[in-house]
Amino acid sequence: MKTFYNIFVILIVAMTLASCGGAEQDTKAPESADKHEGSAPQAGTGSYDPKRGEGKFTLANLALSDKLDPVMAKAGEATTEVKCSPCHKLTDEKLVGPGWKGVTTRRAPDWIMNFITNPDPMIDKDPAVQAMLEMCMVRMPNQSLSDKEARDLLEFMRKNDGLK
Amino acid sequence: MKTKLHLAMIAGLLAIVLLPSCKPKDTSSAVTGDAASKSYVAPGKYDEFYNFVSGGFSGQMSCYGLPSGRLLRVIPVFAVDPEKGWGYSEETKPMLNTSHGFVPWDDLHHTEMSQTNGEVDGRWVFGNANNTPRVARIDLTTFRTVEIIELPNSAGNHSSPFITENTEYVIAGTRFSVPSDNADGDVAINTYKQNFKGYLSFISVGKDDGKMDIAFQLACPGVNFDLSHAGKGKSHGWFFFSCYNTEQANSLLEVNASQRDKDFIMAVNWKKAEEYIKAGKGKKVPAKYAHNTYSDATHSATSEMKTDVMVLDTKEFTDICYMIPCPKSPHGCDVDPTGEYIVGSGKLAALIPVFSFDKVQAAIANKAFDGQFDGINVIKYEAALYGEVKKPGLGPLHTEFDGKGNAYTSFFVSSEVVKWNIKDLKVLDRVPTFYSVGHLCVPGGDSKKPFGKYLIAYNKITKDRFLPTGPELSQSAQLFDISGEKMQMILDFPTIGEPHYAQAAPADLIRKNQVKIFKIDENKHAYVTKGEKESKVVREGNKVHVYMTAIRSHFSPDNIEGVKMGDEVYFHVTNLEQDWDVPHGFAIKGAINAELLIMPGETATLKWIPEKVGIFPMYCTDFCSALHQEMQGYIRVSPAGSNVPLMFSLGNTIDGKAPATK
């Protein structure tokens, strides 16, 4: 069998040389597909901190006060009604996602801020979120919250949990 | 064993390639071993170029990636598209309005990308409607048709939508000359010479917003204007139009419009025409044409009917238009990247004439004229001619450029692409196409700065190229690598509709500008619902407005009662999602309509007139989450005069109202 194939290949090569004109095309080295610019983003791996999640927020840069900022909380409530309330109730009752009651005691504030502004990587990595996904079966959408909107939302959640 | 098999397969393929190499017309010739790797873009990798291809009689524009030939998107333009609700939603219906009313179809022949300083700038792509004359502008941040303007005094808008080097104007020349809209059109057809006129429209384009307006029209002799291209660089300020049927025949054009050995390329000094318009020499003429615009703020289109147009009669001015004789029935009219050479492709000619802009200017200065055609000076052929490409092939149609001094001309009758040198007019290479090539495209190939890496040939006939699909076969594109001295075919792919002209641009020019979502806070739709709390149903006489929201994975409200026979129901659905690639769909049983496909942050409206009493389900048509199959609702339709009150609910939480019960 092996000889047969080899002979066949040799024959082809010979035909190439003998054919009238042969292949007139350039036979430069094939361009690697990797040369095509750009590529779809790949999920990265690396260390993940389940306490603060993944994102730009830390306890330090949040610098939360013990007192409620009612103006921020009010703005957060308005954002909630447009972007959050279809799936989250303010009680502990689950709708599409879990109810918000007690969320600020269950999760650290930087974790909440990172999750609501950067949900996809955390859904892929965070053990608590993955457990929640098994229950809810819907990935929390990225609602494209601005930093201010997210911070206002956190303040509204704190108010919802009784902070004065 | 596996490697052996591969070896055998490669050898077999080689044999197929090589055996017929003495007969270059065979379907499988011209493919060499590394073709696959040149067009292969691995999964997850992006293409190098966006390629905007006219959809011909589909009325749409398609967007492919190059070099893979992957279809990225079909952009609805002049034809309704039920998949996207285009022409079916209340918001998009006005886009297809014309002076003839709502027209659901057209024939899109040419695409042209906007340019700045003669280079493709990636902002907009224009398309022409050939049947009911219109020009459309597509915004390349949303890949949506955002504007359509109708053209009065025109018929068969074929010589269109070509642009000047800073997108100052989009040009639209009429293919069919007709009596002007303002004249009494009830004339004998054989009075063509007296009563029929050819109009060229100069559509201004807003520098920043792209807004189109017909700045002026040039009234020209009645002939068929076929194709055109703007001058660039030194010839900026001029436009060149191919003209056929200079016999001015009105029947059996196949014979009667092929009598003369030479027709014309008409050179138009549009800067001069602009001056005359500024000097008040134009005439405002009554006309009726639609101007339709789409707003991303209101997510809605509006249609305005215009009532007049500025016309300049070229008969009254001898220094705007000049006829350059061109053999024979010219089709393509292409200007090289330097702006010096104008290539006319006579469909029935056995050579390709190349005209020199400098010589044309000298001929005008020296009055090297050879009489007049219908009041327009005819420049002597030799006085304008740079030279001829001899025996290039049969049936030359279109020419594109690579920016390295070469031109590529398609030959319909001999089914081939011929590469030739612009300076010495020598043929350098020829490759067969499969079959009957029409247009060509080199990325940036009609601009000052072509990206001469690929050439795509758009073929009219594909029989035996793909698996057969009954009597109706697709058209095709064939991709050639033109980076070397010889053209190398590397890919075949089927296209939607019939591809005519196409344009392409480096991906980076467009990719970085993509809109991913519409911000819900900025939604200014008259019937937007910003949050479920605002969702409601409102009756106004027999009109029922449903303010509905969609988010993974429910509608609010999802139960509606109290709709009666004789009602017109408007579902204004707002997608509350704010993440990329999460559209929701909306459809309702029995609607004599299409679906809605609503992007994140957008509002779209489906009009539904219930046809009978009963319960009608509605659902989300675009798989949105694991609970997509749960994204549904019901509407109850009662007889006219029924006393079922108008009620709406979601679960039992909306407005504190209990779910409606019988």
Report the residue of A5, A25, A32, A123 to disrupt the B interface, i.e. the one with the largest count of B CBs within 10 Å. A25
| CATH number, domain containing residue B224 | 2.130.10.10
Residue B203 shares a structural domain with residue B334:
yes
Q: Assess if residue B72 is contained within a domain.
A: yes
In Å, how far is B414's CA from the nearest CA of chain A? 20
| Mean pLDDT lowest among A45-54, B161-170, B273-282, B399-408 | A45-54
Residue that finishes a domain, picked among B511, B545, B579: B511
Q: Where are the alpha helices (DSSP H) in chain A?
A: 2-18, 59-62, 70-83, 103-106, 109-117, 119-125, 127-136, 147-160
Residue whose structure tokens are 């993440």: B579
For residue range B218-277, what is the model confidence (pLDDT) as tens digits? 999 999 999 999 999 999 999 999 999 999 999 999 999 999 999 999 999 999 999 999
Residue B269 shares a structural domain with residue B190:
yes
CB B85 within 8 A of CB B594: yes
Using a CB-CB cut-off of 8 Å, the residues of chain B touching A28 are 34, 484
- Percent with pLDDT over 90 in chain A: 68
Please tell me the predicted confidence (pLDDT) of residue A16: 43
Please tell me the predicted confidence (pLDDT) of residue B17: 43
A5–B8 CB contact, under 8 Å: yes
Residue B474 shares a structural domain with residue B544:
no
Question: CA nearest A5 in B: which residue?
Answer: B8
Task: Indicate whether B1 pLDDT > 90.
Answer: no
Q: How confident is the model at residue A46 (pLDDT cuts 50, 70, 90)?
A: low
Q: Where are the alpha helices (DSSP H) in B225-333?
A: 253-256, 270-278
For residue range B80-94, what is the model confidence (pLDDT) as tens digits? 999 999 999 999 999
Q: In terms of Cα–Cα distance, which of B217, B216, B131, B225 is closest to B173? A: B225
Residue that finishes a domain, picked among B462, B493, B511: B511
Q: Judge: domain A59-160, CATH 3.30.70.2660.
A: no
Please tell me the predicted confidence (pLDDT) of residue B238: 98
Largest CA-CA distance found in chain B, in angstroms, rounded: 91
- Percent with pLDDT over 70 in chain B: 94
Structure-token pair, residue B408: 């590529």
Please tell me the predicted confidence (pLDDT) of residue B33: 75
Structure-token pair, residue A12: 């082809």
Please tell me the predicted confidence (pLDDT) of residue A47: 87
Total domains in chain B come to 2
Residue B468 shares a structural domain with residue B588:
no
Residue B525 shares a structural domain with residue B506:
no
Residue B397 shares a structural domain with residue B540:
no
Mean pLDDT score across all residues of chain B? 93
Task: Indicate whether B384 pLDDT > 90.
Answer: yes
Task: Indicate whether B6 pLDDT > 70.
Answer: no
**DSSP 8-state code for residue B559:** E
- Among the partner residues A20, A28, A145, nearest to B21 by beta-carbon distance: A20
Residue B577 shares a structural domain with residue B501:
no
Please tell me the predicted confidence (pLDDT) of residue B659: 44
**DSSP 8-state code for residue B557:** S
**Could you give the ipTM of this predicted complex?**
0.74
Please report the residues numbered 207 through 266 in chain B whose beta carbons come closer than 8 angstroms to any beta carbon of chain A: none
Q: Assess if residue B168 is contained within a domain.
A: yes
The parent domain of residue B290 ranges over 48-511
The larger pLDDT score, comparing residue B231 to residue A3, is at B231
For residue range B463-522, what is the model confidence (pLDDT) as tens digits? 899 999 999 999 999 999 999 999 999 999 999 999 999 999 999 999 999 999 999 999
Give dist(CA B490, CA B479) in Å, integer: 6
Check whether the bond before B435 is cis (ω within 30° of 0).
yes
A34–B508 CB contact, under 8 Å: no
Mean pLDDT of A129-149: 93
| Mean pLDDT lowest among A20-29, B193-202, B298-307, B626-635 | A20-29
Residue B282 shares a structural domain with residue B198:
yes
Strand order in the sheet with B144-150: B108-116, B119-129, B134-139, B144-150, B283-295, B300-313, B212-221, B197-205, B169-173, B159-163
Residue B587 shares a structural domain with residue B470:
no
Burial class (CB in 10 A: 0-12, 13-18, 19+), A61: exposed
Domain ranges of chain A: 59-160
B15–A12 CB contact, under 8 Å: yes
Please tell me the predicted confidence (pLDDT) of residue B29: 52
Q: Does B638 touch chain A (CB under 8 A)?
A: no
Q: Collapsing DSSP states into helix, strand and coil, what is residue A150?
A: helix
For residue range A76-110, what is the model confidence (pLDDT) as tens digits? 999 999 999 999 999 999 999 999 999 999 999 99
Residue B535 shares a structural domain with residue B401:
no
Please tell me the predicted confidence (pLDDT) of residue B34: 85
3-class SS letters over B341-367: EEEEEECCCCEEEEEEHHHHHHHHHCC
In Å, how far is B633's CA from the nearest CA of chain A? 16
B531–A82 CB contact, under 8 Å: yes
C-alpha distances out from residue B29 to A21, B92, B247, Å:
12, 47, 42
Q: Collapsing DSSP states into helix, strand and coil, what is residue B119?
A: strand
Q: Does B602 touch chain A (CB under 8 A)?
A: no
Q: In terms of Cα–Cα distance, which of B610, B616, B602, B613 is closest to B572? A: B602
Phi/psi of residue B628, nearest 5 degrees: -60, -40
Please tell me the predicted confidence (pLDDT) of residue B648: 96
Using N-to-C axis directions, what is the helix angle for A2-18 and B2-18, rounded to 10°? 20
How many CB pairs below 8 A link A and B?
142
Q: Collapsing DSSP states into helix, strand and coil, what is residue B50?
A: strand
Give dist(CA B453, CA B603) in Å, integer: 42
In Å, how far is A153's CA from the nearest CA of chain B? 15
Q: Assess if residue B8 is contained within a domain.
A: no
For residue range B17-67, what is the model confidence (pLDDT) as tens digits? 444 333 444 445 557 778 889 999 999 999 999 999 999 999 999 999 999
CB B500 within 8 A of CB B517: no
Task: Indicate whether A41 pLDDT > 50.
Answer: no
A33–B532 CB contact, under 8 Å: no
Q: Assess if residue B13 is contained within a domain.
A: no
Residue B374 shares a structural domain with residue B260:
yes
Q: How confident is the model at residue B660 (pLDDT cuts 50, 70, 90)?
A: very low
Name the helix (H) or strand (E) containing B306: strand B300-313
Residue whose structure tokens are 């090539």: B437
B578–A22 CB contact, under 8 Å: no
Residue that finishes a domain, picked among B493, B511, B529: B511
Report the residue of A17, A26, A132 to disrupt the B interface, i.e. the one with the largest count of B CBs within 10 Å. A26
Q: Assess if residue B24 is contained within a domain.
A: no
Give dist(CA A98, CA B60) in Å, integer: 45
Give dist(CA B550, CA A151) in Å, integer: 25
| CATH number, domain containing residue B527 | 2.60.40.420
A96–B554 CB contact, under 8 Å: yes
Q: Assess if residue B26 is contained within a domain.
A: no
Q: Assess if residue B212 is contained within a domain.
A: yes
Residue B487 shares a structural domain with residue B577:
no
Mean pLDDT of B2-10: 49
Mean pLDDT of B131-136: 98
- Among the partner residues A31, A39, A81, nearest to B44 by beta-carbon distance: A39
In Å, how far is B48's CA from the nearest CA of chain A? 6
Using a CB-CB cut-off of 8 Å, the residues of chain B touching A25 are 30, 32, 484, 486, 488
Residue whose structure tokens are 């405002």: B284
Please tell me the predicted confidence (pLDDT) of residue B28: 52
